[in-house]
């Protein structure tokens, strides 16, 4: 990898000579502007606004516009004389937990490699950062500007450096949140949690640029004189969500189907039941319980009938006993007379 900056890390009184190499590369699709009639390339030319003449690179310099609008020419020699301690030094200012860095502040990523004879202090800083589980906040001047940087220990036993935006370069998000009063129910959050669990985690190593691959395939097909296949329209045009609960439930089913899971695989129930105490969309029961109620009613009716029949059987012996008692009383009266 090509070295883009050379200097040293200033760690207190310890100096670590390092080289900076880019940690990322851009694989995004790029197109040339061409003349459609003959495919001649269209280029941007640098032209002076005053005389209309095209200007070569060695005639182009740097101009700084002051607060009152004045223009001052500055040369590379002028900039090299600036009294910046960070001109060739990654000056460590302090240490913070890496998790406290706002992702919005991250700019570009680099690897730091030890220069000749710097292996010992390089490894010392790397292991100190690793043991403290922190990153170093530093300043350096690179590519014509001074910038903040985060230096941290990576898993590959390498020091990584991320340039950071200055705090005043990050715009405020004030006023961007929805202003309407919205209430999110626990049932909706439960369904959202279920959807997140169903989608699962992402293996970043498996991700790739499908758009770039599609463009390359299209270009190859055109070169071969093959008519490209018509793309299928994506389902669900991103319209307004009318029923959020129903949309979440459909999303869960779709995610399970995409993972090859059959509906009702767990517990034998074909309906999504992520919510305790609440059923389907809009808080309505997810399953109809009417058949169970009818069965219970039949059992109840059967129980009452049985009770009546049982009461009839018990009443018969009671009438027979009364008749015998009356006959005994009659017989006793006759004897007495």
> From the CA atom positions of the chain, what is the Rg in Å?
41
pTM recorded for the entire structure? 0.62
Q: What is the mean pLDDT of residues 187-215?
A: 87
Checking DSSP bridges between strand 3-11 and strand 159-164, what pairing results, if any? unpaired
29/288 Cα distance (integer angstroms): 53
165/303 Cα distance (integer angstroms): 79
Least confident of 148-157, 218-227, 235-244, 267-276: 267-276
pLDDT 10s digits, 254-290: 888 877 765 554 444 444 554 444 444 444 444 444 4
Residue 229 has pLDDT above 80, yes or no: no
91/280 Cα distance (integer angstroms): 59
What six digits make up the tokens of 226?
Answer: 């093959």
What six digits make up the tokens of 173?
Answer: 């998000």
262/270 Cα distance (integer angstroms): 9
- Non-local (6+) Cβ contacts of 138 within 8 A are 9, 90, 91, 92, 93, 148, 149, 150, 151, 161
CA distances from 188 to 204, 210, 249, 292, 324 (A): 28, 32, 10, 28, 75
Least confident of 210-219, 229-238, 239-248: 229-238
């Amino acid at each position: 990898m090509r070295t883009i900056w050379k200097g040293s890390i200033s760690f207190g009184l310890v100096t670590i000579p390092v080289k900076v190499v880019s940690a990322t590369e851009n694989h995004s699709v790029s197109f040339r502007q061409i003349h459609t009639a003959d495919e001649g390339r269209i280029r941007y030319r640098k032209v002076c606004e005053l005389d209309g003449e095209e200007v070569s690179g060695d005639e182009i310099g740097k101009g700084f516009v002051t607060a009152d609008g004045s223009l001052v020419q500055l040369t590379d020699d002028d900039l090299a004389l600036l009294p910046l301690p960070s001109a060739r030094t990654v000056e460590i200012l302090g240490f913070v937990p890496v998790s406290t860095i706002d992702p919005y502040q991250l700019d570009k990523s680099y690897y730091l490699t030890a220069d000749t004879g710097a292996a010992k202090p390089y490894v010392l800083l790397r292991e100190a950062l690793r043991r403290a589980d922190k990153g170093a906040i530093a300043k350096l001047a690179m590519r014509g500007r001074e910038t903040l940087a985060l230096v941290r220990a990576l898993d590959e036993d390498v020091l990584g450096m991320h340039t950071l935006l200055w705090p005043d370069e990050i715009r405020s998000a004030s006023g961007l949140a929805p202003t309407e009063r919205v209430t999110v129910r626990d049932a909706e959050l439960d369904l959202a949690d279920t959807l997140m669990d169903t989608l699962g985690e992402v293996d970043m190593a498996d991700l790739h640029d499908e758009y770039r691959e599609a463009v390359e395939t299209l270009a190859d097909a055109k070169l071969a004189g093959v008519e490209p296949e018509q793309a299928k329209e994506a389902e669900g045009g991103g319209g307004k969500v009318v029923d959020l609960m129903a949309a979440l439930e459909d999303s869960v089913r779709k995610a399970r189907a995409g993972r090859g899971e059959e509906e009702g695989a767990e517990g034998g129930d074909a309906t999504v039941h992520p919510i305790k105490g609440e059923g389907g969309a809009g808080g309505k029961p997810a399953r109809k319980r009417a058949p169970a109620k009818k069965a219970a009613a039949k059992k109840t009716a059967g129980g009452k009938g049985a009770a009546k029949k049982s009461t009839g059987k018990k009443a018969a012996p009671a009438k027979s006993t009364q008749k015998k008692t009356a006959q005994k009383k009659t017989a006793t009266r006759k004897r007495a007379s």
